């Protein structure tokens, strides 16, 4: 229950007058993240493994001299792993002071989401962690799951560094 | 105005600390050498600069304090007060108080308690020998007829004079205060027509005739902060004992256009002329200072002094740069190096038979640039040594010992980060030397040594390392006693065959405080183990040589910089790793039966009779791919805190200097990994932390004990389930 109230407040924060989301694909689903948090989109490069970290952290990459950790979102969401192909990209996002990369199947579009098009996430009724989902948006005939980057990645980073 | 000044406050604090440091250094020298004019000048200049700047920033406490200090120093400069030991002590205390005051102002904390007592002591000193003197006048009131001299000063400021925030009026004012008679004539020959007048450039000059009892250096001090181009020519024109005020007749300057002699009160008049064509008041802000009475009003800050920090008294020029920006630039240049080598590789791929001379040239330039950029962070160790001088002095006084402090190679340069962090360990070692090393004068005499002990700090470069030696000629370490204590404490056993160096190294073990055991003097809380830990945190090492009765020498070996690491590049599975070269002992290729299993899990090798545990990186690091498990493995023997380990690797890729990037910046600290670096091909390679790895190895084998089998797949499966 508490998660529901939290995500509502986050939702109202974000959508004053609507906002823009970068949408990307993981398996058959579309996801969106706040475009202001996206720093750039990179093609897949070499990732260096880091020992003894959760397996969804694929490794670190060299972003023009900065060492940036990269999270495989499929793995994070416990989706079946996919082989990386030419559409696989790394979305570089900022989480607080830190910079991280997200491996996704493909980026699709930048989407304007007005207040009216936003829906709260319904109770999915099963054992799924939805704390990092801010809501759903409708675009033409598809539903897009909007993600809260801070909750998705920040939790992990802060929880382990503190 | 307020906001403007605040921007410079940080700079003021920094400058003030530097001035205090130079003051302290000069005072310590003064104490040893007795009277020395140059040293006194240095001290005076520092105090003067702090005073000027602090009053500009409205830090009255500091200004008031330095004012009294300055008065006293001035009297010392005149030779009226002699620098006795007692006085030096007071002055040193005064620098401490001043540092405290500035610190308090900076952090908005309580001002130190001693302020008033030291303040009064200073006041007393400065008034003792000349009770009639009023403290607001910086020049001692000597009998005016005693030694008056007439000077001719030609002061022609450079056109850019105003750009440095200077105002010639203040200098004229100051000169006037010095003089018994004062005449100045403005030289307007360079003044352009009004339409072409640039209000920001200084077109005027002055010929000044001055009769004063002050010596030449006092006059020069007025112009202390002007840039070289604007320095005045000061000539002695007469030496009359009975010079009167109408000395203007001896005017020897060339003809000048406006040759009306200006009386001292209307001295500002020529200045108002150029600025009348200047609608915004001009940089000299002469508008508000037109009347002679105003000039001395309390609320006008002495701008001449406040501009001191910017012109830095003509010493070698430096630019202050924010460290973060510097680091960013160094980082970017590092990137440039990598980028260049990537281009080189691409070129080789597409034109395998052609060499591009342009690329070779570029590569050379870029590498030079990187070398240069790294040298930007280097600073001399001198400031750190200087602090030690004070420690030695205070401590030896307190302990009643005679100690001479010597330094060598203080100009040797070291990375700023290392310099900042070596201060504390060094302090402990120097204190140790004075406290426990050097004997009392009586003991020394009894041992046939000169009563004065010597503590020497020496810095030099040796093979890419920075070495600091702390040497004393005291009683040295008592080998047998250390050994006895160590056996008592169970640190070593009697049967151990230890070399002298091993035994001396024991004083670095935790809980083995030299204060309690090795000597009878005790009372310091920090042991040498902390010193060693600090030095090792800087990737350094420390060793001791000592001869009983003759002295002791501690040798601290540090890397030149923390930004770069000498590493051995190895391949494990598909990734490259960097092992810090400092911990690498050797690499070997074991014979087929060289690796032996212990309890079917642990592996050891025998290295020249020594049993060394074998660590397989792929298991410890839980790599997804494993390396081939055969006995062809190469082993790198590493050492951590005296214990040897062997690491199995697939390939040695070579020795390389790598630029260290930390993982915490965007991620978190990873056990077993000291950092990361970017290789020539743009890939990230992890730098291994040997100490952490050994910890990991212990932990993972303990974890494996819980599972039925320690075979690789199960560990991997466990890991994925986490």
HEC-encoded secondary structure of B107-133: HCCCCCCCHHHHHHHHHHHHHHCCCCC
* Mean pLDDT within A13-22: 67
Q: Residue A101: which pLDDT band, with cuts at 50, 70 and 90? A: very high
In a domain, B588, yes or no: yes
CB pairs under 8 A between A and B: 87
Do B87 and B81 touch, CB atoms closer than 8 A? yes
Sheet holding B673-678, edge to edge: B651-659, B564-572, B575-580, B684-688, B673-678
Interface of A with B (CB under 8 A): 45-46, 48-55, 59-62, 64-69, 98-100, 157, 160-161
Please check whether residues B603 and B688 belong to one and the same domain: yes
Encoded tokens for A42: 């990179």
Please check whether residues B637 and B653 belong to one and the same domain: yes
Cβ contact, residue pair A51, B332, below 8 Å: no
In a domain, B137, yes or no: no
Looking at B309, B334, B355, the residue that finishes a domain is B309
Which of the pair, B657 or B713, is modelled with greater confidence? Answer: B657
Do A70 and A61 touch, CB atoms closer than 8 A? yes
In a domain, B406, yes or no: yes
Q: Residue A22: which pLDDT band, with cuts at 50, 70 and 90? A: very high
Q: What is the pLDDT of residue B490?
A: 73
Q: Residue B700: which pLDDT band, with cuts at 50, 70 and 90? A: low
- Asked if B88 reaches chain A (Cβ–Cβ under 8 Å), the answer is no
* Mean pLDDT within B667-686: 84
Please check whether residues B335 and B215 belong to one and the same domain: no
In a domain, B676, yes or no: yes
- The residue count of chain A comes to 162
Please check whether residues B465 and B412 belong to one and the same domain: yes
Average pLDDT in chain B: 73
Cβ contacts (< 8 Å) between B373 and chain A: which residues?
none
**What is the CATH classification number for the domain harbouring B46?**
1.20.120.160
In a domain, B138, yes or no: no
Q: What is the pLDDT of residue B276?
A: 39
In a domain, B48, yes or no: yes
pLDDT in tens, B481-511: 778 777 777 777 777 777 777 778 777 776 6
How far apart, in whole angstroms, are the C-alpha atoms of residue B125 and residue B71? 10
Please check whether residues B255 and B333 belong to one and the same domain: no
* Mean pLDDT within B280-291: 40
pLDDT in tens, B31-44: 777 777 778 888 88
Q: Would you tell me how many other CB atoms lie within 10 Å of the CB of residue B119?
A: 17
Q: H helices within B129-222, ranges in order?
A: 168-178, 216-222
Q: What is the pLDDT of residue B572?
A: 84
Average pLDDT in chain A: 78
pLDDT in tens, B230-285: 777 777 776 544 444 444 444 444 444 443 444 444 444 444 344 333 444 444 43
Cβ contacts (< 8 Å) between A99 and chain B: which residues?
666
Looking at the DSSP assignment, which residues form a beta bridge with residue B673? Answer: B688
Looking at B251, B281, B309, the residue that finishes a domain is B309
Range A2-161 has CATH code 2.40.50.180: yes
For chain A, domain boundaries? 2-161
Q: What is the ipTM of this complex?
A: 0.77
Q: Which chain A residue has the Cα nearest residue B679?
A: A62
Interface of B with A in 645-704 (CB under 8 A): 661-673, 676, 678, 682-686, 696
Percent of chain B with pLDDT over 70: 77
Return the biggest CA–CA distance within chain A.
Answer: 45
**Given phi > 0 = left and psi -120 to 50 = alpha, else beta, which region is B539?**
left
* Mean pLDDT within B546-571: 83
**What is the CATH classification number for the domain harbouring B547?**
3.30.565.10
Q: How many domains does chain B have?
A: 5
Do B412 and B560 touch, CB atoms closer than 8 A? no
- Asked if B332 reaches chain A (Cβ–Cβ under 8 Å), the answer is yes
Half-sphere CA count of B398, side-chain side, radius 13 A: 9
Please check whether residues B110 and B242 belong to one and the same domain: no
Please check whether residues B639 and B570 belong to one and the same domain: yes
Name which of A110, A105, A93, A109 is nearest A151 in CA terms. Answer: A93
Nearest by CB to A160, from B334, B665, B668: name it: B668
* Mean pLDDT within A112-122: 77
Please check whether residues B469 and B341 belong to one and the same domain: no
Please check whether residues B200 and B337 belong to one and the same domain: no
Cβ contact, residue pair A65, B334, below 8 Å: yes
Please check whether residues B386 and B533 belong to one and the same domain: yes
**Distance of residue A36 Cα from the nearest chain B Cα, in angstroms:** 18
Q: What is the domain extent for residue B193?
A: 149-309
Cβ contacts (< 8 Å) between A59 and chain B: which residues?
684
Please check whether residues B700 and B649 belong to one and the same domain: yes
Do B521 and B434 touch, CB atoms closer than 8 A? no
Looking at B99, B128, B157, the residue that finishes a domain is B128
Encoded tokens for A136: 């759903």
Please check whether residues B412 and B554 belong to one and the same domain: yes
Interface of B with A in 621-640 (CB under 8 A): 621-624
Cβ contacts (< 8 Å) between B665 and chain A: which residues?
66-67, 98
In a domain, B133, yes or no: no
In a domain, B318, yes or no: no
């Amino acid at each position: 229950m508490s998660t529901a109230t939290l995500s509502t407040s986050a939702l109202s924060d974000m959508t004053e007058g609507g906002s823009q989301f970068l949408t990307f694909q993981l398996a058959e689903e579309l996801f969106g993240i706040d475009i202001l948090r996206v720093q750039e989109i990179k093609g897949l490069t070499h990732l260096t493994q880091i020992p003894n970290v959760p397996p969804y952290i694929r490794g670190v990459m060299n972003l023009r001299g900065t060492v940036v950790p990269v999270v495989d979102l499929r793995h994070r969401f416990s989706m079946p792993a996919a082989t990386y192909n030419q559409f696989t990209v790394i979305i570089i996002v900022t989480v607080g002071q830190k910079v991280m990369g997200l491996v996704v199947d493909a980026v699709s579009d930048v989407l304007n989401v007005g207040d009216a098009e936003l829906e709260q996430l319904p109770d999915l009724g099963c054992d799924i962690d939805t704390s990092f989902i801010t809501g759903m948006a409708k675009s033409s005939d598809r539903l897009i799951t909007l993600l809260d980057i801070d909750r998705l990645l920040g939790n992990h980073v802060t929880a382990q560094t503190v | 105005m307020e906001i403007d000044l605040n921007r410079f406050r940080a700079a003021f604090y920094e400058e003030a600390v530097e001035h205090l440091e130079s003051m302290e250094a000069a005072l310590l020298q003064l104490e040893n050498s007795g009277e020395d004019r140059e040293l006194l000048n240095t001290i005076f200049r520092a105090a003067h600069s702090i005073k000027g700047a602090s009053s500009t920033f409205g830090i009255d406490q500091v200004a008031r304090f330095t004012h009294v200090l300055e008065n006293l120093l001035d009297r010392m400069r005149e030779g009226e007060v002699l620098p006795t030991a007692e006085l030096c002590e007071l002055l040193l205390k005064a620098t401490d108080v001043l540092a405290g005051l500035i610190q308090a102002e900076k952090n908005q904390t309580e001002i130190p308690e001693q302020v008033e007592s030291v303040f009064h002591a200073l006041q007393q000193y400065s008034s003792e020998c000349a009770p009639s003197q009023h403290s607001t006048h910086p020049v001692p009131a000597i009998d005016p007829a005693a030694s008056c001299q007439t000077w001719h000063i030609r002061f022609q400021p450079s056109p850019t004079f105003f750009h440095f925030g200077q105002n010639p009026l203040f200098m004229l004012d100051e000169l006037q205060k010095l003089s018994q008679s004062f005449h100045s004539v403005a030289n307007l020959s360079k003044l352009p027509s009004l339409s072409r007048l640039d209000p920001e450039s200084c077109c005027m000059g002055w010929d000044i005739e001055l009769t004063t009892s002050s010596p030449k250096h006092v006059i020069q001090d007025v112009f202390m902060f002007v840039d070289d181009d604007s320095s005045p020519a000061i000539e002695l024109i007469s030496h009359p004992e009975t010079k009167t005020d109408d000395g203007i007749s001896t005017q020897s300057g060339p003809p000048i256009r406006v040759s009306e002699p200006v009386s001292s009160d209307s001295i500002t008049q020529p200045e108002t002329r150029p600025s009348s064509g200047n609608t915004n008041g001009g940089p000299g802000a002469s508008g508000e200072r037109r009347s002679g009475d105003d000039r001395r009003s309390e609320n006008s800050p002495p701008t001449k002094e406040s501009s001191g920090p910017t012109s830095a008294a003509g010493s070698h020029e430096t630019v202050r740069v924010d460290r973060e920006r510097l680091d960013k630039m160094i980082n970017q240049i590092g990137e440039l190096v990598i980028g260049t080598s990537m281009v080189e590789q691409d070129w080789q791929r597409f034109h395998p038979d052609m060499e591009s001379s342009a690329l070779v040239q570029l590569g050379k330039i870029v590498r030079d640039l990187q070398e240069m950029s790294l040298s930007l962070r280097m600073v001399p160790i001198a400031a750190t040594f200087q602090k030690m001088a004070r420690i030695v002095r205070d401590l030896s006084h307190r302990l009643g010992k005679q100690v001479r402090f010597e330094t060598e190679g203080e100009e040797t340069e070291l990375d700023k980060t290392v310099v900042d962090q070596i201060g504390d360990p060094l302090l402990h070692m120097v204190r140790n030397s004075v406290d426990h090393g050097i004997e009392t004068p009586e003991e020394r005499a009894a041992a046939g040594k000169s009563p004065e002990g010597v503590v020497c700090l020496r810095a030099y470069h040796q093979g890419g390392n920075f070495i600091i030696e702390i040497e004393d000629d005291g009683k040295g370490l008592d080998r047998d006693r250390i050994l006895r204590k160590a056996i008592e404490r169970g640190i070593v056993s009697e049967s151990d065959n230890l070399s002298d160096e091993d035994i001396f190294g024991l004083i670095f073990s935790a809980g083995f405080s030299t204060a309690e055991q090795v000597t009878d003097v005790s009372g310091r809380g920090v042991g040498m183990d902390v010193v060693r830990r600090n030095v090792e945190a800087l990737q350094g090492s420390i060793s001791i040589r000592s001869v009983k009765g003759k002295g002791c020498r501690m040798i601290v070996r540090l890397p030149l910089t923390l930004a770069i690491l000498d590493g051995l590049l190895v391949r494990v599975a598909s990734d490259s790793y960097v092992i810090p070269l400092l911990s690498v002992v050797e690499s070997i290729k074991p014979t087929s039966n060289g690796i032996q299993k212990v309890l079917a899990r642990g592996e050891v090798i025998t290295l020249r009779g020594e049993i060394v545990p074998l660590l397989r990186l792929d298991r410890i690091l839980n790599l997804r791919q494993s390396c081939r498990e055969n006995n062809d493995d190469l082993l790198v023997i590493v050492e951590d805190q005296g214990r040897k380990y062997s690491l199995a690797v697939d390939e040695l890729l070579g020795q390389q200097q790598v630029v260290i990037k930390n993982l915490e910046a965007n991620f978190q600290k990873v056990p077993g990994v000291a950092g990361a670096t970017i290789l020539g091909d743009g890939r990230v390679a992890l730098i291994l932390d040997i100490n952490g790895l050994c910890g990991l190895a212990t932990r993972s084998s303990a974890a494996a004990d819980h599972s039925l089998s320690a075979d690789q797949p199960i560990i991997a499966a466990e890991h994925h389930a986490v």
